Amino acid sequence: MEIRIERTGTPKQKPAGALGFGKIFTDHMFEMDYDPENGWHDARITPYHDLVLSPACVVFHYAQEMFEGLKAYRDAEGRVRLFRPDKNIERLNNTNLRMCIPPLPPEDVLQAIRETVLTDESWIPTEPGTSLYIRPFIFATDVGLGVHPSKHYKFLIILSPSGSYYAGGLAPVKIIVEDEYVRAVKGGTGFAKVGGNYAASLIGQEKAEQSGYAQVLWLDGIQHKYIDEVGAMNVFFVIDGKVVTPLLEGNILPGVTRDSTIQLLRSKGYDVEERRISIQEVYDAHAAGRLDEMFGTGTAAVISPVGELNWDGNRITIHNNEIGPISQMLYDEITGIQYGRREDPFGWSMVL
C-alpha cells in the first residue's frame, strides 16, 4: 500500500509535565477512505486536523463504528516497539465483520500503524511507564437516515502520548458490582470493540463513581449471575492458587492482555481455567478464605489489582487491599516484554 505523507509546517509544542490519558494528540494522523467503487483507498498521513462531516452521517445516528487501542513503547536502546499488533488487527476485522464494515487487509493496517507512529516518533514519551497510545477507528459516512450498512467509511489513526497509569506504584482499585444495568448480551456486540458498548455502560460507571468506586464489575445480561468483565478490562480471580477467568462466549471483549496473561501463567505452570464464574462463587471463596487475588487486565493499566469489591452493599477486602504476588509478577513480566527489558519467548514484542 502506498501512503502519501503530508508533514505539518507548524509542529506543536510537546507537553511538559503529567500526560494523563488521551488528552494530548500528536502532529499527524492517518486517514483512508472506503467506497464501493475503489474499496479502501487514498491512504495518507496528514497534519492532525478536525473533520467536516454531514450532520446526516450514519455514524451519528446509528453508531456504525468501531475502534482499537494499542501502544508504542520506547525501549532502553531507543527503539520503538509494539506489543502483539497482529492480535489487535485480527480483532479489528472481527469487529468489522459484526458491524458490517468492510474488512481491511491486515498488512495494510500494520503498515498504517507503523508509518504513522514513525512519523510522530518524537512524541513517544520516555519516562518510566509512559507510552504512545494508538487509537485506530472506523466510522460510517453515508449521508442519510435510512437504516442499512453504510457504503462509505473512514479509517483513521490518532496518537496520544500517555502517562504511567500508576504514578504512585501498582495500587489496588475499588470495584462495585452492577446488578441493575447490563453492558452486553450474548448475540449482541460484547465481543466487538465498539463505542455502543461504552455508551450503554456510562450510566453504570456514573453510578459507581458517585458511590466512590473506580469501576463497575458487569454481570451477564440474562441472569445477572455470572461475571463478565470490568469497565474496559477483563477480569481474573485467584482461588486456591488456581487462576479463573470468564470464558469468551460472545459477551466479553477478547483482550490482548487477557490472552497474554493466560499464556504467561500457563507457561509458568499455573492452572488457568476459562469458565463461567458466578459472583456468588467469588463471595463464597472469600468467606472460606480461598480468594487470594483479583485483578483486571487491559492495555491501559496492563494489570490492575482489585482491593475491594462491593456487591449489593456487601463489601469484601481482597488480599488485604495490597498487590498480590501473581498480579505483581504478571505486571513485571508483561511490561518487561513490552519495553524490551525481559526475554520474550513468545515473540510478542515487535521492533518497528
Ligand X SMILES: *Cc1c(COP(=O)(O)O)cnc(C)c1O
Question: What DSSP line would sit under 254-322, residue for residue?
Answer: --HHHHHHHHHHHHTT--EEES--BHHHHHHHHHTT-EEEEEEEETTTEEEEEEEEEETTEEEESGGGS
From the CB of 250, what's the least distance to ligand X, in Å?
A: 13
Q: Does 305 bind ligand X (CB under 6 A)?
A: no
From the CB of 201, what's the least distance to ligand X, in Å?
A: 8
Q: Does 299 bind ligand X (CB under 6 A)?
A: yes
Interface residue with ligand X among 3, 214, 232, 323 (CB under 6 A) is 232
Interface residue with ligand X among 24, 253, 323, 330 (CB under 6 A) is 253
Smaller CB distance to ligand X: residue 89 or 282? 89
From the CB of 124, what's the least distance to ligand X, in Å?
A: 19
Stretch binding ligand X (CB under 6 A), from 37-45, 168-176, 297-305, 340-348: 297-305
Amino acid identity of residue 301, one-letter, is: A
Q: Does 116 bind ligand X (CB under 6 A)?
A: no
Amino acid identity of residue 244, one-letter, is: V
Smaller CB distance to ligand X: residue 45 or 138? 138
Site for ligand X in 8-67 (CB under 6 A): none
Name the CA radius of gyration of the chain, rounded: 21
Q: How far apart are CA 343 and CA 142, in angstroms?
A: 47
Three-state SS at 89: helix
Q: How far apart are CA 222 and CA 70, in angstroms?
A: 31
Smaller CB distance to ligand X: residue 131 or 257? 257
Q: Does 233 bind ligand X (CB under 6 A)?
A: yes
From the CB of 231, what's the least distance to ligand X, in Å?
A: 7
| 331: Cβ contacts below 8 Å, ≥ 6 apart | 170, 302, 303
Q: Does 234 bind ligand X (CB under 6 A)?
A: yes
From the CB of 84, what's the least distance to ligand X, in Å?
A: 9
Angle (CA) 166-82-341 rounded to 5° is 65
**Residue of minimal CB distance from ligand X?**
255
Q: Does 92 bind ligand X (CB under 6 A)?
A: no
Q: Does 69 bind ligand X (CB under 6 A)?
A: yes
From the CB of 197, what's the least distance to ligand X, in Å?
A: 6
Q: How far apart are CA 215 and CA 209, in angstroms?
A: 7
Q: Does 71 bind ligand X (CB under 6 A)?
A: no
Q: Does 162 bind ligand X (CB under 6 A)?
A: no
Q: Does 173 bind ligand X (CB under 6 A)?
A: no
| 15: Cβ contacts below 8 Å, ≥ 6 apart | 24, 161
Q: Does 255 bind ligand X (CB under 6 A)?
A: yes
Half-sphere exposure of 95 (CA within 13 A, CB side): 28
Amino acid identity of residue 87, one-letter, is: K
Decide if 252 contacts 228 (C-beta within 8 A): yes
Q: Does 285 bind ligand X (CB under 6 A)?
A: no
Interface residue with ligand X among 119, 162, 257, 338 (CB under 6 A) is 257
From the CB of 37, what's the least distance to ligand X, in Å?
A: 33
Per-residue DSSP letter, 150: -
Helices (H) and strands (E) in the chain, counts: 7, 18
> Where does this chain bind ligand X (CB under 6 A)?
69, 193, 229, 232-234, 253, 255-258, 297-299
